Amino acid sequence: MRLLARRDYSLVELQQRLRQRGHEQSAIEQALTECQQRGWQDDARFAGQFVRSRYLQGYGPLRIAAELRQRGVAAALIDALLEDDELDWQQALNQLFARRFQGGAAAGKERYKQARALQQRGFDNDQIRQLLDL
């Protein structure tokens, strides 16, 4: 409960943390089942907050999806959250680009460096091409 008091965790993250602290598997399963029944742990709530947080930090859908998969969130839930109409990925990309590259789109090799930096933030090639007109 102390872990969940600070922030939400996915079920897989909690299992890993409790295992690292030396708890037995049966005790972990029992505790996590109780946490889910009481509404203290919910993967959907965790994933929703995670997506909003990372979106506001300027990360793209590919990176966010990969991070959620690492945390054990179901693929169907990830897809549903990333397709939310409130998330405008192109606008997020435009804001990130304006903040990161104040001089605008560069030419030549620099333009490809800019594209690579945006890819690492989790935006797909189509979005980046549309922004940079590659």
pLDDT bucket at 125, cuts 50 / 70 / 90: very high
**CB atoms inside a 10 Å sphere around CB 47:** 22
Residue 34 CA to residue 27 CA, distance in Å, equals: 11
pLDDT tens digits along 49-68 = 999 999 999 999 999 999 99
Q: Burial letters for 106-126: b for 16+ Cβ neighbours within 10 Å, e otherwise? A: eeeeeeeebbeebbebbbeee
Section 7-12 average pLDDT: 90
Section 104-132 average pLDDT: 87
pLDDT bucket at 124, cuts 50 / 70 / 90: very high
pLDDT bucket at 15, cuts 50 / 70 / 90: very high
**Given a cut of 60, is residue 94 above it in pLDDT?**
yes
Average per-residue pLDDT for the chain: 90
Cβ neighbours of residue 62 under 8 Å, at least 6 residues apart?
A: 122, 123, 124
What sign for the dihedral angle of Cα 27, 30, 34, 39? positive
**Given a cut of 60, is residue 134 above it in pLDDT?**
no
Total-model pTM = 0.86
Tokens linked to 31: 């505790």
User: Could you tell me which CATH number the domain at 89-132 has?
Assistant: 1.10.10
Write down the domain spans for the chain: 2-82, 89-132
